[in-house]
Chains A and B, each alone.
Chain A
Amino acid sequence: MSILIKKAGILTTVQDLGRNGFRRFGINQNGAMDKIAVRLINSLLANDENTAVLEMHYPAAEILFEERAIFALGGADFSAELNGKALENWRMHYAEKGSTLKFKDKIFGNRAYLAVKNGFKIEKWLGSASTNLKAGIGGFQGRKLQNGDRLPFHQITNRKPQIANFKVSHLLIPFYSKFPTVRVVEGAEFELLTAISRENFLNRNFTITPNSDRMGFRLRGEPLQLLHEKELVSSAVNFGTIQFLPDGQMIVLMADHQTSGGYPRIANVIPTDLPLLAQLGANDKFAFHLIKIEEAENLLMRFEKDLNFLKIAAKFI
Chain B
Amino acid sequence: MKTETFKIFPLGIDALSVEFGNEISFRLNDKAVNLAEYFKEKRFAGLIETVPAYASLTVFFDVFKVRKNFPEFATAFEAVKNLIENSLQNSAKLRKSKPRLIEIPVNFSKEFALDLDFVAAQNNLTKEQAVEIFTEKTYRVFMLGFMPAFAYMGEVDERIAAPRKQTPRLIVPKGSVGIAGRQTGIYPFDSPGGWQIIGRTDFELFTPRIENPCALKAGDLVKFYASDK
Contacts and interface: CB of A to CB of B under 8 A. Distances in A.
Interface in A73-100: none
B63 interface: yes
B171 to A, nearest CB: 13
Interface stretch (B104-112, B122-130, B156-164, B210-218): B210-218
Interface in B31-89: 36, 48-56, 58, 60, 63-64, 67, 74-77
Contacts of A237: 11
A234 B77 contact: no
Given A234-B53, A236-B51, A294-B74, A24 B144 contact: yes
A258 B152 CA distance: 14
A1 B60 CA distance: 38
A28 to B, nearest CB: 8
B75 A233 contact: no
A297 B213 contact: no
A301 B74 CA distance: 13
Contact of B54 (A134, A137, A235, A293): A235
Interface in A259-317: 259-260, 265, 268-271, 293-294, 296-297, 300-301, 304
A125 interface: yes
B12 A185 contact: yes
Contacts of B24: 233
A110 interface: no
B213 A126 contact: yes
Contact residues on A (Cβ < 8 Å of other chain), bracket = 35 or more
A33 B201 CA distance: 36
Contact of B148 (A132, A185, A236, A240): A132
Given A233-B54, A297-B77, A301-B67, A241 B49 contact: no
A269 B148 contact: no
B19 A269 contact: no
Given A259-B144, A300-B64, 11 more contacts: A22-B49, A25-B214, A25-B217, A135-B147, A188-B19, A233-B24, A235-B58, A236-B51, A259-B145, A271-B14, A297-B13
22 contacts: A20-B48, A23-B60, A24-B218, A25-B148, A25-B214, A26-B147, A27-B148, A27-B214, A134-B191, A233-B53, A233-B56, A235-B54, A236-B145, A238-B12, A238-B15, A260-B145, A260-B146, A293-B13, A296-B13, A297-B63, A300-B63, A301-B63
Contact of B22 (A185, A233, A297, A301): A233
A159 B133 CA distance: 73
Interface of A: 20-28, 125-126, 132, 134-137, 185-188, 231-241, 258-260, 265, 268-271, 293-294, 296-297, 300-301, 304
B13 A25 contact: no
A185 B15 CA distance: 12
B153 interface: no
Nearest to B9: A188
Contacts of A236: 11, 15, 17, 51, 53, 56, 58, 145
A129 B58 CA distance: 24
Given A26-B147, A27-B148, A135-B208, A304 B64 contact: yes
B49 to A, nearest CB: 5
Interface of B: 9-15, 17, 19, 22-24, 36, 48-56, 58, 60, 63-64, 67, 74-77, 143-150, 152, 189, 191, 206, 208, 213-214, 217-218
Given A24-B217, A25-B214, A234 B12 contact: no
A16 B75 CA distance: 27
Nearest to A265: B11
A271 B54 CA distance: 27
Contacts of A240: 12
Given A126-B213, A185-B10, A235 B77 contact: no
B85 to A, nearest CB: 17
A83 to B, nearest CB: 40
A152 B145 CA distance: 34
B49 A26 contact: no
A132 B54 CA distance: 25
B51 A234 contact: no
Contacts of B52: 24
Contact of A241 (B12, B60, B67): B12
A193 to B, nearest CB: 15
A23 B23 contact: no
A224 B152 CA distance: 30
A260 B189 contact: no
A303 to B, nearest CB: 9
A135 B13 CA distance: 28
Contacts of A296: 13
A188 B48 CA distance: 21
Nearest to A26: B144
A259 B51 contact: yes
